[in-house]
Amino acid sequence: MDYRQEYEKWLASPALTAAEKAELEAIANDPKEVESRFYGPLEFGTAGLRGTMCVGLHHMNIHVVRHATQAFAEVILAEGGDAARRGIAVCFDCRNNSPQFAREAACVMAANGIHVRLFDALRPTPELSFAVREYGCIAGINVTASHNPKEYNGYKVYWEDGAQLPPHHAEAIAKKMAELDIFEGPKTMEYDRAIAQGLIEIIGEDTDRRFMENVMAQVADSGAIPAVADTFKVVYTPFHGCGHKLVPEALKRAGIKHLICVPEQMVIDGNFPTVVSPNPENPEGFALAVELAKKNDVDFILGTDPDSDRVGIMIRDKNGDYQVVTGNQTGVVLLDYLLGAMKRSGKLPEKPVALKTIVTTEMAKAVAESYGAACYDTFTGFKFLAEKKDKLEASGEGKVVFSYEESYGYMLGDFVRDKDAVTASLVLTEMAAYYAARGMTVLDALNALYEKHGYYGEKTHNLVMPGLDGLKDMANLMASLRQTPPKEIAGVTVRQFKDYQDGSVVCCATGEKSAMELSGSNVLRFELADGTSIIVRPSGTEPKIKVYVLTKGADAAERDANLAKYAGWVAGLKK
């Protein structure tokens, strides 16, 4: 693509407003900026679109949203039958421009004769997944960039099962986008006319009610919270986002009497003024919550990201400090609690199953197996976890009780097919209350699991590679590791090399090659002689390579030494 020619096309288009043209005119003498905006379109994948917000082909703006939506509409219409009548649910988060982008998407769908159920205000991502399933929609759109910084927005796409798009549908949309002119291709219609003709239907409170009935049904032990309700306290923050309404409602319904919400962060604001990053994976974002917890003598802190699909917790330790519990650790202790609660109440299914992704701690398998449950791996992403859940349950091979990934995403129940911070917040709080009644914290429960199953440890390293050169650097690093895999890492022999692209497994000692079940993803795994696994993959939403170190030690000291040792090797990858 000739980026300068594309720039001139946009500048000359009558579809642009005066403000948009002025923005483009301002970069006319900055060839690097022009190239970065127009060298190619945002890549449409199974996660949809995500990028920074500004005018240009490679960014999030109304024109890109319309373009993607027209392509999506044509894929839906190609399904034939009653696909248009079944329609699509459209949701949005707290980010700048999210309501406008959602309305534009709705108007394009309506112009194509596809019925739209549009939420009246921002809602959590899991409620969009629920709405697709509840109303029998053919698909869904959620305008969100999840936990990314304020400059970003995104466009998540869902299919009729309530999970994000499978690869073949994503490929079909990308192909349509390549065929359609970005300005002349999309159909649209006036919002008020679409409402008047019944093509756009506004949904809200009734959907909330139905969603919350399902959320509350996930309580594993209805007596856990009431047993300590007079003394147990919770601090909660939605990081200015979509959890502000339904998470507190769920906790209060469950019996929490002392819920203290961070007032500054209960304010809906796409600029996220109180945090550098609205990501519960970053402990700095919890500063106001920690301050509030100290003032109010609180042990348990809960935070959900802007679209309320991820949740993080902090726990007060014996020294009075607030400790981060990682996504891997949270998932392990929650899995143990859920299986234990089901066993105590006689509700454990005959063939219980836990699901995790390939980059999530191996400790989950040890915990699951201690209850007689199976544990399966999938690729990263809840569409794969949802797909595996449906397959196992349809075949009668097992009943999935819990699915999770290391990046603070958890899925419970049968009513959503995506990570769900509303339900997870409820059950995590229930778990904390259960342990509080026994004079324990979640940290105490986690340490007991380490003593029982071994000292597992995990660390995710992000090798950030921004810009055009960064994309090349990412591709070169993956190609280098694939073509010449290391024989040892940090002085430890590599026993097996797994390439999830072609599903191959190579024994490094003999060169013998075999195949594994999973294939079709740009991920590499090195399994070492000491039991450590190192996994390398490009991020699907940000310009970085993610390197996961999964290890285990005889005690905490050995585990931590392993993590430090391998961190040095990871740092050298970028040099």
Span 59-83, pLDDT tens digits = 999 999 999 999 999 999 999 999 9
258-261, strands of its sheet edge to edge? 258-261, 233-237, 300-304, 311-316, 322-325
**Residue 543: what pLDDT?**
82
Question: Cα-flanking dihedrals φ and ψ of residue 5, to 5°?
Answer: -65, -40
**Residue 466: what pLDDT?**
82
CATH level 3 topology of 41-203:
Alpha-D-Glucose-1,6-Bisphosphate; Chain A, domain 3 (3.40.120)
Model pTM score: 0.95
**DSSP letter string over 141-162?**
EEE--TTS-TTEEEEEEEETTS
Question: Cα-flanking dihedrals φ and ψ of residue 363, to 5°?
Answer: -65, -30
Question: How many Cα atoms are found within 13 Å in the side-chain-facing hemisphere of 302?
Answer: 29
The CA distance from 255 to 249, in Å, is: 10
| Helix 327-345 / helix 421-436 crossing angle, nearest 10 deg | 70
CA angle 301, 255, 304 (to 5 degrees): 30
Query: Tokens at residue 513, please?
Result: 């090659």
Domain limits of the chain? Answer: 41-203, 209-453, 455-572
Beta strands 488-489 and 504-507, pairing class: unpaired
Beta bridge pairs of residue 459: 549
The CA distance from 400 to 567, in Å, is: 34
Cα–chain-centroid distance for residue 422?
13
With CA atoms as reference, report the closest residue to 524 among 479, 575, 469.
479
Q: Kindly name the residue from 129, 146, 403, 533 that is annotated as catalytic.
A: 146
| Helix 31-38 / helix 3-12 crossing angle, nearest 10 deg | 80
Beta bridge pairs of residue 564: none
For 465-543, where are the E strands, in sequence order?
Answer: 488-489, 492-499, 504-507, 513-515, 524-528, 533-538
Contacts of 312-315 with CB under 8 Å at 24 or more apart are 312/280, 312/281, 312/286, 312/408, 313/428, 313/432, 313/442, 314/283, 314/286, 314/289, 314/290, 315/432, 315/441, 315/442, 315/443
- Class of domain 455-572 as given by CATH: alpha beta
Mapped onto helix, strand or coil, the DSSP state of residue 447 is helix
Place of tokens 């024989």: 487
Per-residue model confidence as pLDDT tens for the chain (575 residues) = 799 999 999 999 999 999 999 999 999 999 999 999 999 999 898 789 999 999 999 999 999 999 999 999 999 999 999 999 999 999 999 999 999 999 999 999 999 999 999 999 999 999 999 999 999 999 999 999 998 899 999 999 999 999 999 888 999 999 999 999 999 999 999 999 999 999 999 999 999 999 999 999 999 999 999 999 999 999 999 999 999 999 999 999 999 999 999 999 999 999 999 999 899 999 999 999 999 999 999 999 999 999 999 999 999 999 999 999 999 999 999 999 999 999 999 999 999 999 999 999 999 999 999 999 999 999 999 999 999 999 999 999 999 999 999 999 999 999 999 999 999 999 999 999 999 999 999 999 999 999 999 999 999 999 998 877 888 889 999 999 999 999 999 999 999 999 999 999 999 999 999 999 999 999 999 999 999 999 999 987 678 999 999 999 999 999 999 999 999 999 998 76
**Residue 442: what pLDDT?**
98
Beta strands 322-325 and 374-378, pairing class: unpaired
**Residue 575: what pLDDT?**
67
Q: Does 209-453 match 455-572 in CATH topology?
A: no
Decide yes or no: CATH 3.40.120.10 for domain 209-453: yes
Q: What is the 3-state secondary structure (H, E, C) of 333-394?
A: HHHHHHHHHHHHHCCCCCCEEEEEECCCCCHHHHHHHHCCCEEEEECCCHHHHHHHHHHHHH
Residue 146 bears catalytic tag: yes
Q: How many CB atoms lie within 10 A of CB 517?
A: 8
Beta bridge pairs of residue 529: none
